[in-house]
Structures are given as structure tokens and as C-alpha cells.
Structure 1
Amino acid sequence: MTQEQAMSLLQQLFWGSAFLGICAAIHVAMIGFFLPYMTKLDGFLLKHAPRFRSTVMAGSGFILIAISHTAEVWVWAKALMLRGVFTDLNEALYFSLVTFTTVGYGDITLGEGARIFGTFAGVSGVLTIGISTAFLVALMGKLVPKPLSDLK
């Protein structure tokens, strides 16, 4: 990153918050939009074996969450490129993914003019992964209301 591309602290806070908000909106909108379709699918699957129903519904929920998180990683990669932090898409995607998932290998680090901004990708990941976990736990709670031993 060059000096010309460095952001002030206020710019990093503003743009980091803006892109975090975009990711939160994507995540909540995806769940909100597809929930009625998942409810219809569940109604259709009620006449099938409980294991089949549980598998299809859990798989559908997982796919929905995976698509949401993938879109959000792409948003962060593009944000890092738009803000001049990276010029290479591969590097931007890699950094976004390891930061979003909080793996943070540390092989790529940001300069002082983008550190705070980049950290928002990690905050975005933590928050949306939390929402995803809550969604999947609620979904599984509806699918498996009885003890697992009753599902034969």
C-alpha cells in the first residue's frame, strides 16, 4: 500500500462501518428472503421420513449460510480493492477470507493507513457467523424436537 492510498482513522472507521453494515444487510436479507421458501419446503417434506426431512432442511440452511458468507467475503475483497488497499483480486480475496473467518494467518498484513479498516472484516465475520449459528441452531431445534433416539 502506498502513502497516497492510506486512509485517516476517521475514514477507516467510516468505511469499515459502512461495509460491515452492507454485509449485515446481505446476511439478514438472505435469511429473511429465503425463510418463507424454507418454510414451504419443510411443509412439503413433512410427509417424508424424519431423517430425510432433517437432512434436506439442514442442508438447505447450510447452503443458504454458505452463499451469504461467500458473498460477504467478496464484498470485503472488493471494498479492500476500492479503498486502494490491494490491487490484486486474488490477494484481496485471500486476505478477506482469512480475516472474515478470523483465521488471520498473518502472512499478509495491512499498513497503518488500513489496519482499522481491515479489522472490520473480522468484526463482520464474527457477527454474521454468530447470526448463522443462531439460525442453524433454531432450525435444528425445529427439526429435532424429540430426543434423537426417537428418530429411527
Structure 2
Amino acid sequence: MTELSTPGPMMEMLLGTLIMIVIIFVHGVGIRMINLHFSRTWAHMHANTPNWRLNVLLALTIGSLAVLHFSETFLWAMPLSFGGLIPSMRDSYFYVLENYTTLGEGNVSLPDQWRLLGPIISMSGLFTFGWTGSVLVSVMTDFGHLDKLRAKGSEAIDPLEQRDAR
């Protein structure tokens, strides 16, 4: 336990990197599941699909991505809290959210011997938010193609075919 209570920088970076890899793996699995659901649902959309159905699909996709990020930050907060680095789970989660979003201006901090974890948490947030951003660009591109079809009045072309042609 003494080794973990006063780790060297290499041990700190190793543990932080291992947790970051787990977080990014979880993000990848989550993104695949969200994208699969979106694609399956999108396959049933056409030029006559009511706007409310499209809006519900968009809201569910965005909500799912948000839940994924909240889950990932919770996974970061657990070892900080249960390891005693930050006393309460609420403060631990607050600390992780601030670092994961790279805001980093809170009054909660890690002990000095664990302070390298903050930037590693930020790195995982940068990776996952970038990945999420690319998914949202893809989703909005599909919506843009459908909007173009609607503007042209063409109902003969399936939006899924437009997506697969790219």
C-alpha cells in the first residue's frame, strides 16, 4: 500500500494510462453501439418521414452520447474516490468532470504525488470528445443529405443509399 500511497511518476503515469485505455475502449464500444442503432433506424427513414421522428432520432443519439461520456467520467471517478485520493465520490466526480472537459478550474485537487492523473484525464476527454464530434458530423451529414432530397422533392432516392455511396 505504501507504494501506491507515494507512487513515483512512472507508476502514476502507468496507472493513469491504463485507466485511459479502458476509458477509450469503453468509448469505442459505446460509439459502435450508438452508431449501429442510428444506422438501423436511419435505414427506415425516407423523404416522407415526419420531422418529429427525425428529431427524436437526433435527440436519442445526442442523449446516448452524453450518457456515454457521463459513464466514462464515472469510471474515472471511482478509482479516485475508492482509492482515497479524493474523499467523497461527489468531489471525485466533480474533479474528473473538470479535467475531462479540460476546464480544470475547480477547488478539488489530487494529492501532489498523484497530480499527473489530471492531465491524463484531460487527454482521455480530448480523445473521446474528438471521436464524439466526428460521429455527430457524420450524423448531421446524413440529415443534410435528407434535407437536400426533400428540398429537391425527390422521394425516389433512399437516404441510406446516399450514405452508402459516400
Shared fold per TM-score greater than 0.5: yes
| Distance 1:104-1:149 versus aligned 2 partners, 3 A rule | farther
Counterpart check, 1:80 vs 2:53? no
Structure 1 gap segments, 5+ residues each: none
Contact 2:34/2:61 (<8 A) preserved: no
Identity across matched positions, percent: 19
Partner of 2:122: 122
**Structure 2 counterparts to residues 1-152 of structure 1, below 5 A:** 5-46=5-46, 47-49=48-50, 51-145=51-145, 146=147, 150=151
> Which runs of structure 1 show a deviation greater than 6 angstroms over 4 or more consecutive aligned residues?
none
TM-score by length of 2: 0.79
* 2:131 counterpart letter in structure 1: I
**Deviation (angstroms), 1:150:** 3.1
For residues 66 and 121 of structure 2, the distance between their equivalents in structure 1, rounded to whole angstroms, comes to 17
- 2:164 paired residue number: none
Q: Give the TM-score normalised by structure 1.
A: 0.85
- Which moved further from structure 2: 111-120 or 63-72? 111-120
Q: Give 5+ residue unaligned stretches, structure 2.
A: 154-166
Q: Deviations over 1:84-137 (max 9, x none)?
A: 311211111111111111111231222321111222111111110110011001
Q: CA deviation at 1:76?
A: 0.8
Contact preservation (8 Å) 1:102, 1:122: yes
Question: Which letter does structure 2 place at the counterpart of 1:67?
Answer: V
Separation of aligned partners in 1, 2:76 and 2:150:
43
